[in-house]
Homo-oligomer: A and B are copies of this chain.
Amino acid sequence: MLNNYSSADKVLLAVDCIIFGFDNAGLKILLIQRDFEPEKGKWSLIGGFLKRDEVLDAAATRILNTYTGLNDIYMEQLYAYSEIDRDPVERTISVSYFALINIENHNAELIQNYHAEWFPINEAPNLIFDHNEMVQNAIKRLRYKTSVKPIGFELLPEKFTMRQLLELYEAILSKELDKRNFISKINSLEILNKLDEKDMQSSRKGSYLYTFNKEKYEEKLLNDFVLNL
């Protein structure tokens, strides 16, 4: 009964990446304008095909690197999309991945070369294929993640203020949070280092800068917790 294998259909397997970034203006996703058919010129997630000798995680990493120049980015597999005609050219199953990156750190040139652009999540253009759905599901997953894992290290600059962290969470959850309650909940996680340094951009008084305590942060990544914001 070896023909279980030989009689089976082969398909193309793609990877599409939902890349989240954050800056003063809020939560954004990285999109490209396709430079090949079909749907040339339309906006799309960055993506590519899985190679024969490559695991999915590696494909996602390679694709991210191709378009942004970034390495060592945390990515997470989300879901396999398999509607028959989702790609009009050929039957293609696509596995979505999401990544969190610091907008300031990305290689702007590469993004330029690929006609890539950051869009606020609420102002993103209509996307090809089922990419809109992929984005919506990724946002859901990102929201969920805030409640069980620490988030921020990936999206914020190395030194950041409490307000920036608060605004990041507000952008992800798309709701207002009480500042004092937020601070005490975050502090209870014990993943921040408060520096002696202040950021003077935002006010006369200046606000303390923080860094993530990398060891504690990664310790928390290993075990789920519950964070009600």
- A173 CB-CB contact with B under 8 Å: no
- A204 CB-CB contact with B under 8 Å: no
Within 8 A of B (CB), among A63-95: 77, 79-80, 82-84, 89-93, 95
Known: A2-B89, A10-B10. 12 other contacts (CB 8 A): A1-B37, A2-B36, A5-B12, A5-B49, A8-B49, A9-B12, A50-B82, A50-B93, A55-B84, A56-B80, A57-B82, A77-B80
A111 proximity list for chain B (CB < 8 A): none
Known interface pairs A13-B93, A55-B83, A93-B56. Does A35 touch B5 (Cβ–Cβ under 8 Å)? no
Q: Which of B5, B51, B83 contacts A89 (CB 8 A)?
A: B5
- A11 CB-CB contact with B under 8 Å: yes
Report the bound CA distance from A140 to B13 in whole Å. Answer: 26
**What are 12 inter-chain pairs, A to B, with CB distance below 8 A?**
A1-B35, A2-B36, A4-B36, A5-B49, A9-B49, A10-B10, A11-B52, A13-B13, A13-B93, A50-B82, A55-B83, A55-B84
Q: Which of B50, B57, B91 contacts A9 (CB 8 A)?
A: B50
A1 proximity list for chain B (CB < 8 A): 35-37
- A123 CB-CB contact with B under 8 Å: no
Q: Which of B5, B9, B53, B77 contacts A84 (CB 8 A)?
A: B53
* A contact residues, total (Cβ < 8 Å): 34
Within 8 A of B (CB), among A23-77: 35-37, 49-57, 77
Task: Give me the 5 closest cross-chain CB pairs, A-B, nearest first.
Answer: A1-B36, A8-B49, A10-B10, A9-B52, A56-B82
Q: Which of B10, B12, B51, B95 contacts A80 (CB 8 A)?
A: B95
A83 proximity list for chain B (CB < 8 A): 55
Q: Which of B8, B35, B55, B84 contacts A82 (CB 8 A)?
A: B55
Report the bound CA distance from A53 to B9 in whole Å. Answer: 9
By beta carbon, the residue of chain B nearest A96 is B80
A90 proximity list for chain B (CB < 8 A): 5
